[in-house]
Amino acid sequence: MRGGRSLGEVRVGVATGLWFFPGAPGPSVVSTIVAAEQAGLDEVWLGDEGPARDPFALLAAAAGVTRTISLGVAVTNPYLRHPAATAATALTIQELSGGRMTLGMGAGGDLALGPAQLKRTRPLEATRRAVRIVRAVSNAEATEGYTPVDHAIDRKGLPIYIGARGERLNRFASESADGVFLGGIPFSRLATTLSWARSVQRVRASIYVNAVFDDDALEAIRPQMIWVLIDTPEETRQQLGLALEDLLLAARALGDGDDSLARRAVDDVVLDELVLHGTPKTVGRELADRLAPLGPDSIGISLLTGDLAGIIGPAAEALHVARARAG
């Protein structure tokens, strides 16, 4: 790897962790990260979906009350913040945490960019530029878009991961990043996506899947999977028999409080491609069986419910089962 310690690098075997969107109050998010560390998990990633609770601020807070768990953003985008500002923030958390920070970058989606009325233009070029600038800030080097100053923070070795579902960004990750964060990808597309991400060199891979542990939670999140499908590559939608115009129509209806079209689009076949469900032991065994053959460096569960305190126990149990089964 090009940078410093990456997520899970010092662990024996596959690392385990959680991803969640910081939709709960800030103290609850920080408490969840502390609970994940106490439960023996190796990493936590926070989503960045634009003008919500800021994941960087929350990770900075968590850095001061944790000691071992790796902290990551998965993923931020190059449009809402200048990459130099993103770099300075991530490097500050790297400093506060004693080297436990990883910066995940990607092109961003509608949830992140829509509220700010921004368009995702030339995503590969924008992400490539952002990664170049982040590395320049980290190394105190000049580059197009950044001129170092004496008071700038510079800490070499900030790991940069790319979080994407499409081919071009994953191939770019294999060329230029330290790793990839693969989340929200249908199970039947994971092997292909990972092959793109390791087409040039074998970068580290964190693979995260959606999981719930009871039928009520499964039905609650069914319509929300519409957002994953909208931001997925066209080839994947075609494989699942879905048309983008139908998904956009369903999303508009969902925003107006009608989830019937979203539920119809996310039928049981599509749902099984996107979500593991069952008891913690069942989810853990299936997680290991599906992901271990791919050779990931870390595996994790994306938490899809707002009850962080209630789900951390089942999720940690599932991940301990998965780690033991994966060897």
140 domain-assigned: yes
The residue-averaged pLDDT of 286-297 equals 96
37 domain-assigned: yes
301 domain-assigned: yes
* Domain identity same for 58 and 156: yes
Q: What pLDDT was estimated at residue 115?
A: 82
Whether the per-residue pLDDT at 106 is higher than 50: the answer is yes
The residue-averaged pLDDT of 207-229 equals 95
Q: Residue 142's domain is classified under what CATH number?
A: 3.20.20.30
In this structure, what token pair is assigned to residue 189? 């597309």
Whether the per-residue pLDDT at 98 is higher than 70: the answer is yes
133-155, pLDDT tens digit by residue? Answer: 999 999 999 999 999 999 999 88
Q: What is the mean pLDDT of the chain?
A: 93
4 domain-assigned: no
* Domain identity same for 258 and 198: no
43-93, pLDDT tens digit by residue? Answer: 999 999 877 899 999 999 999 999 999 999 999 999 999 999 999 999 999
Smallest Cα–Cα separation from 274: which of 233, 199, 311, 224? 224
169 domain-assigned: yes
Q: Percentage of the chain surpassing pLDDT 90? A: 87
* Domain identity same for 208 and 243: no
Beta-strand (E) ranges in the chain? Answer: 15-20, 43-46, 70-76, 101-105, 160-163, 179-183, 204-212, 275-277, 298-303
* Domain identity same for 151 and 230: no
* Domain identity same for 311 and 177: yes
* Domain identity same for 287 and 316: yes
Q: What pLDDT was estimated at residue 154?
A: 83
- Written in H, E and C, the secondary structure of 210-278 is EEECCHHHHHHHCCCHHHHHHCCCHHHHHHCCCCHHHHHHHHHHHHCCCCHHHHHHCCHHHHHHHEEEC
In angstroms, rounded to a whole number, what is the distance separating the alpha carbons of residues 304 and 275? Answer: 10
* Domain identity same for 146 and 59: yes
Q: What pLDDT was estimated at residue 6?
A: 43
Whether the per-residue pLDDT at 219 is higher than 90: the answer is yes
Phi/psi for 147 (5° steps) reads -120, 120
8 domain-assigned: no
* Domain identity same for 312 and 180: yes
34-43, pLDDT tens digit by residue? Answer: 999 999 999 9
* Domain identity same for 134 and 255: no
* Domain identity same for 260 and 155: no
For the chain, the domain total comes to 2
51 domain-assigned: yes
Q: What pLDDT was estimated at residue 12?
A: 56
Which residue range(s) make up the domain with 164?
15-217+275-326
* Domain identity same for 134 and 241: no
The pTM score is 0.93
Q: What pLDDT was estimated at residue 327?
A: 75
10 domain-assigned: no
Higher pLDDT, 185 or 114: 185
State the DSSP H helix or E strand holding residue 171, giving kind and residue range, or none if neither: helix 167-176
* Domain identity same for 192 and 250: no
pLDDT band at 305 (very low <50, low <70, confident <90, very high): confident
152-189, pLDDT tens digit by residue? Answer: 998 899 999 999 999 999 999 999 999 999 999 999 99
